[in-house]
Amino acid sequence: MLYQHFATQEEIDRAYDPMIGRDPAVLVKAWRERSEISRARHRVSLDVPYGHSLTERMDIFHADAPYVDAPHVDKPQAPVHVFFHGGYWRSLSHREFSFIVDDLVNAGITVAVVNYALCPQVRFSEIVRQAQAAVAYVYTHAAELDIDPEQLSISGHSAGGHLCAMLMSTDWKGIFGLPNQLIRGALCISGLYDLRPFPWSWLQPKLQLTGRDVQEFSPLWLPCRVGAAVKLVAGGLESKEFERQMSAYSEHLSEQGQTVTQQLLPNVDHFSILEDYLNDGCFVEWIKGFHASDKI
C-alpha cells in the first residue's frame, strides 16, 4: 500500500483531486469577478508587504463600523481576521478570494487576505514560513492597522486550512518572540492535515515533497501550541478522504486537550463549501464566536 488503503497513484489521485467534474476556468473566473466587486465595495489597502519577497503581500479590508460585541469596547481598534487561500500550495492568489470578506467587514472585523509563494517556485517550507510571517506582521503592526492584536483569528480553505493548522502548531515565542496565544481561534475549511499521500499523487511534480517535509509539515503529527478553539469543516460531497483527515486531526487535537469541533456539511463539495458559508452567514458567525470567546 502507498497510503492508508490506496495501492496505486490513480486511487490517490481520484481521492485528492477535487476538480474532477468541475471546470476550473469557470470556477476561478467567477471568484475573480466577485472579488473585484468586493475590492470596489470596501476600503482596502492593496498588496501590503509583510515580508521582503514580492509574493509576501496581503490585501487588508478595513472594518466598516465598530465591532460592538468585542469585549474591549473602550478600544477603537477592530478585531482582525487573517484568511489563507487554497490552491493545493501550487496555484491561485489572494486576489481570487476577496469575496470572502464582505460579511466580516460589514460586521466590524478587519480582514487580511494573504498571498504567498507557490510550489515549485519555492520549497514547501517557505510557504509555511510566509504564512507565519503574515500573522506575525498583522500582530506586530496592530497600531498602524487600527486593529486589536488581542482579537486575531485565522481561517483557510483547502491548502489554506493546512496552513492554519500549521500556525496552531507554531512556536510563536521561540521563533518570533510573540505570545504563543496570539491566535484567538482557527477555522479550517476542507483542510489537509496529513501530507503522506501527496508524494504519491498527481501533485508531486509541483510540490516536490521530501520525506522530511511530510514529517515536519503534517499538522496531524505535530503538537498544537496555541490554546485557542479550532473549528473543522468538510463537505459531504467531497471525497471521503477529506472527512477522514478532518476527523483524524480533530481526534489529534482533542487528545491534547484542545477545544475542537468538527462538522460535515451535506450537499456541498470542495468549492461550494465556501458558498455555503458565505450565503447562510455561518462564516461570519463562527468568526465572531472566536472573538466573543473567553478562551484567551
Res 65: pLDDT: 65
- Residue 85 confidence class, pLDDT cut points 50, 70, 90: very high
Express each pLDDT in 254-270 by its tens digit.
Answer: 999 999 999 999 999 99
Long-range pairs of 176-182 with CB within 8 A, sequence gap ≥ 24: 176/132, 176/136, 178/136, 178/139, 178/140, 180/225, 180/226, 180/227, 181/226, 181/227, 181/228, 181/296, 182/135, 182/139, 182/149, 182/152, 182/226
Express each pLDDT in 25-57 by its tens digit.
Answer: 999 999 999 999 999 999 999 999 999 999 999
Res 296: pLDDT: 38
pLDDT at position 295 over 50: no
Q: In what order do the strands lie in the sheet with 44-49?
A: 44-49, 57-61, 110-114, 78-84, 147-157, 185-189, 229-235, 260-265
Res 76: pLDDT: 63
Express each pLDDT in 13-28 by its tens digit.
Answer: 999 999 888 888 999 9
Q: Are 120 and 190 in contact (CB under 8 A)?
A: no
Phi and psi, residue 142, nearest 5°: -60, -40
Phi and psi, residue 54, nearest 5°: -65, -25
Per CATH, domain 9-292 is 3.40.50.1820: yes
Residue 119 DSSP SS3:
coil
Q: Where are the domains of the chain?
A: 9-292
Partner residues linked to 189 by β-bridges = 157, 233
List, in sequence order, every beta strand (DSSP E) within the chain. 44-49, 57-61, 78-84, 110-114, 147-157, 185-189, 229-235, 260-265
Percent of the chain with pLDDT over 70: 94
pLDDT at position 137 over 70: yes
Res 289: pLDDT: 81
- Mean pLDDT over residues 218-244, rounded? 96
The DSSP code sequence of 213-231 is HHHHS-GGGS-----SEEE
pLDDT at position 73 over 60: no
Res 66: pLDDT: 57
- Mean pLDDT over residues 219-243, rounded? 96
Instruction: Please give the mean pLDDT across all residues of the chain.
Output: 92
- Mean pLDDT over residues 208-212, rounded? 97
Res 223: pLDDT: 97
* Residue 91 burial (10 A CB sphere; 0-12, 13-18, 19+): middle
- Mean pLDDT over residues 135-143, rounded? 97
Res 275: pLDDT: 79
Partner residues linked to 231 by β-bridges = 187, 261
pLDDT at position 68 over 50: no
Stronger pLDDT, 294 or 204, i.e. the higher one? 204
Res 128: pLDDT: 98
Stronger pLDDT, 277 or 190, i.e. the higher one? 190
Q: What is the C-alpha to C-alpha distance for residues 76 and 140, in angstroms, rounded to an integer?
A: 17
- Cα–Cα distances in Å, from 87 out to 90, 117, 145, 175, 262? 6, 11, 28, 27, 22
How many residues in the chain? 296
Q: What is the pTM of this model?
A: 0.94
Percent of the chain with pLDDT over 90: 85
Q: Are 278 and 166 in contact (CB under 8 A)?
A: no
Q: What is the C-alpha to C-alpha distance for residues 249 and 234, in angstroms, rounded to an integer?
A: 12
- Residue 278 confidence class, pLDDT cut points 50, 70, 90: confident
Cell numbers linked to 10: 490513480
- Mean pLDDT over residues 177-185, rounded? 96
pLDDT at position 242 over 50: yes
